[in-house]
Amino acid sequence: MDWFRSLFRRRPKAGRTGPLDVSHARQVAALHHQGGFARPWEPGECAALLADRAVVTDGIFIGRASEPCGFVMSRIAADEGEILSIVVAGGKRRSGLGQALLCAHLAQLAARGTARLFLEVEEGNAPAIGLYRRLGFDTVGRREGYYPKPDGSRVAALVMRRELG
């Protein structure tokens, strides 16, 4: 369980994490629109995901703010999970908030009995890939042409996995 304790040592002091619910659907959608996705989620889609009992969503907040400046959302099935999306607001990236958010989320999933977690990341997204590797994710596959780009082209996704317990 050394990895579990290390999650808390790596966590920056800035930001506090907490669960998100349906009342945060508009904020989650707005953040997802900042994520650079070819088809960002709309508030109704976010509300449906936030209401889904198989989906665990955490946000990160700065100071006394009631609106998250980032979120991570995972779908759980049996003892496996998949990160559906993780986004930190544009002006807050590269500040340690994403790492703090993901560390808290991993700890919560492990405490709920999730044994392994998967994610897909755009092959060229070096900052995200670096974060995931620092937090113990390994590349286990590659999906050609997985992500559509606004210009109509498609890029590969790396499939990454992390054992949680």
The residues assigned a catalytic role are 120, 132
Q: Are 97 and 91 in contact (CB under 8 A)?
A: no
Q: E strands of 5-151, at which residues?
A: 16-19, 55-61, 70-77, 80-88, 116-122, 138-148
Structure tokens at 3: 């990895």
Of 133, 55, 57, 130, nearest in space to 94 by CA: 130
Q: Are 148 and 38 in contact (CB under 8 A)?
A: yes
From residue 75, give the alpha-carbon distance in Å to each of 49, 57, 116, 126. 9, 9, 12, 24
CA–CA dist 135, 158 (Å, integer): 16
Beta bridge pairs of residue 91: none
Structure tokens at 110: 């492990």
